[in-house]
Amino acid sequence: MEHKLLTVLMSVVMIGAATVGAEYVRPKPRKALHFPWSRKPSSEPQQVHISLAGDQHMRVTWISNDKSSPSMVEYGTSTGKYTSIAQGESSSYSYLFYKSGKIHHTVIGPLEHGTVYFYRCGGQGPEFQLKTPPSQFPVTFAVAGDLGQTGWTKSTLDHIDLCEYDVHLLPGDLSYADYMQSQWDTFGELVQPLASAKPWMVTEGNHEKENILMLEDEFVAYNARWKMPFEESGSSSNLYYSFEVAGVHLIMLGSYTDYDEYSDQYSWLKADLLKVDRKRTPWLLVLFHAPWYNSNKAHQGEGDSMMAAMEPLLYAAGVDIALAGHVHAYERSKRVYSGRSDPCGAVHITVGDGGNREGLATKYIIPQPEWSVYREASFGHGELRIVNATHAFWSWHRNDDDEPVRSDQIWITSLVSSGCVADKRSHDSHLRKMLLSP
């Protein structure tokens, strides 16, 4: 009797264990990180981050509390031996009762590809180290949007730090400061270990707006602190720009500035697409914040009007992959265009799950749309390794109890290699007609 009871009890325990093991238990949001008051000397560089700034150049950005600290970067390929010096520019901004420190932007270069440089900001303070991206394939991008500054953000950043990557891509929603300007400073400190070592290329999300009726303009802190290479790419706004790495042309679009066919962004996009040479850059990627293909119940339809305006252009140009954030979950589509799967459309991937305080978006539309391949509400990051002109490997890594678990992965074949990309030299090509139309 006793033995029978034990057997039944064991069976219940075994079934329970199997259920727990098979089903991923979704973690709760983690608390905002606590940042102790910094005692750094006022002239010491803070919040150091780097970004690509045109061919073989890098922009170094940092903040000093000392207003007389120079915008100078010393750098070289050996530690402590700075063979070059660059001078930059500085600015500051006020927001209600907050006054920022001195924000320095200094472009260094020309730099060798795939090379480690040692650098120092403002003539003093600690030495930093960066690595420039390679000149040709393979090249690897780390991707994480909607970061914020919680325990999960830290977990995501720790996992990215373990990855061998060349450039970090951030499709919007950085600090979640949400009007509390000092939280831009703590975010800058939080990301410094990674962002001072590899270029961070970002575009704006809704949390970057921070406008208060007539009191404050939009994107004041974002534009001052996260200057991107818009001038270098012929754009008149920090809210949209493009850049190239190895054989990849990347376009960073703005979901929160005008994008209709009469807008500056639309005109700039047409001009930028015309400049793309698929022989030099066979891969064409686009990033923006609010996803166009989203089967999560959160933020439904928010990308629709931008998609209606711009998707035909991107389709005609043969965009390979579109990366978005905003929805705090992960989703990957088939190649799609105009709401349906299409072998010449882009793969759309939402990676808005970096770890912010708002938590995960767990409710999905049922049934799963035909174009949606994989969807999961968990915190994590993506890695895109572009191996050569024809093949790329995408993987998404879930923060599974702080262990990075590769949850979704797929080989992606380039549109150039599948014959979808029109030859822009051909006068009757669809792309050329679209791009040159008034």
State which of positions 326-355 bind Fe ion (CB under 5 A).
326
Task: Please say which residue, 205 or 282, places its beta carbon nearer to Fe ion.
Answer: 205
Scored b (16 or more CB within 10 A) or e, 354-367 reads bbbbebbbeebeee
Among the listed ranges 14-22, 61-69, 113-121, 319-327, the one in contact with Fe ion (CB under 5 A) is 319-327
d(CA 167, CA 147): 16
Extract the runs of DSSP E, i.e. beta strands, from 178-329: 200-202, 241-245, 248-252, 283-287, 321-324
Least distance CB 289 / Fe ion (angstroms): 6
**Cα within 13 Å of Cα(245), Cβ side:** 29
CA distance 70 to 147: 31
Among residues 326 and 332, whose Cβ is nearest to Fe ion? Answer: 326
Distance CA 64, CA 421 (A): 47
Site string for Fe ion, 128-167 (x = CB under 5 A): ----------------------------------------
Residue 328 beta carbon to Fe ion: minimum distance, rounded to whole angstroms: 8
Report d(CA 70, CA 402) in Å as an integer.
41
Binding residues for Fe ion, total number by CB under 5 A: 4
Q: Which stretch binds Fe ion (CB under 5 A): 63-71, 178-186, 318-326, 403-411?
A: 318-326
Beta bridge partners of 271: none
| Nearest residue to Fe ion, scored by beta-carbon proximity | 326
- In contact, 356 and 33? CB cutoff 8 Å: no
Judged by beta carbon, residue 314 or residue 361, the one nearer Fe ion is 361
Site for Fe ion in 220-249 (CB under 5 A): none
Q: How far is the CB of 174 from Fe ion (least distance, A)?
A: 10
Q: Which is nearer to Fe ion, 48 or 351 (CB)?
A: 351
- The mark string for 173-192 relative to Fe ion (x by CB under 5 A, - otherwise) is x-------------------
Q: Please, what is the minimum distance in Å from the beta carbon of residue 152 to Fe ion?
A: 16
C-alpha to C-alpha distance for 392 and 247, rounded to whole angstroms: 12
Residue from the set 122, 205, 229, 254 that interacts with Fe ion by CB under 5 A: 205
Q: Do 177 and 203 meet the contact criterion of CB atoms below 8 Å apart?
A: no
Cβ-based nearer residue to Fe ion, 173 or 376: 173
Among 34-42, 130-138, 204-212, 421-429, the segment contacting Fe ion (CB under 5 A): 204-212
In whole angstroms, give the CA distance from residue 284 to residue 242.
11
CB nearer Fe ion, residue 174 or residue 228: 174
Active site members: 299
The residue with tokens 């410094």 is 192
Q: Which stretch binds Fe ion (CB under 5 A): 80-88, 124-132, 308-316, 322-330?
A: 322-330
Using the minimum distance from each CB to Fe ion, give the nearer residue, 130 or 220.
220
Instruction: Output the DSSP codes for 290-341.
Output: S-SS--BSTTTTTTHHHHHHHHHHHHHHT--EEEE-SSSSEEEEEEEETTEE
Q: Is 404 left (phi over 0), alpha (psi -120 to 50) or beta?
A: beta
Select the span of 68-76, 133-141, 171-179, 386-394 touching Fe ion (CB under 5 A): 171-179
Closest CA to 233 of 49, 55, 424, 435: 55
CB of 294 to Fe ion, least distance (A): 12
Burial class of residue 22 (count of CB atoms within 10 Å of its CB; 0-12, 13-18, 19+): exposed
Shortest separation between residue 305's beta carbon and Fe ion, angstroms: 16
Which positions from 65 to 104 touch Fe ion by CB under 5 A, shown as an x/- string? ----------------------------------------
Region near Fe ion per CB under 5 A, out of 44-52, 168-176, 231-239, 398-406: 168-176
Least distance in angstroms from the C-beta of 225 to Fe ion:
18
| Distance from C-alpha of 153 to C-alpha of 191, rounded to nearest angstrom | 10
CB of 108 to Fe ion, least distance (A): 32
d(CA 109, CA 295): 44
Q: Which is nearer to Fe ion, 173 or 244 (CB)?
A: 173
Out of 43, 84, 124, 206, name the contact with Fe ion by CB under 5 A: 206
Which stretches of the chain bind Fe ion, using CB under 5 A? Answer: 173, 205-206, 326
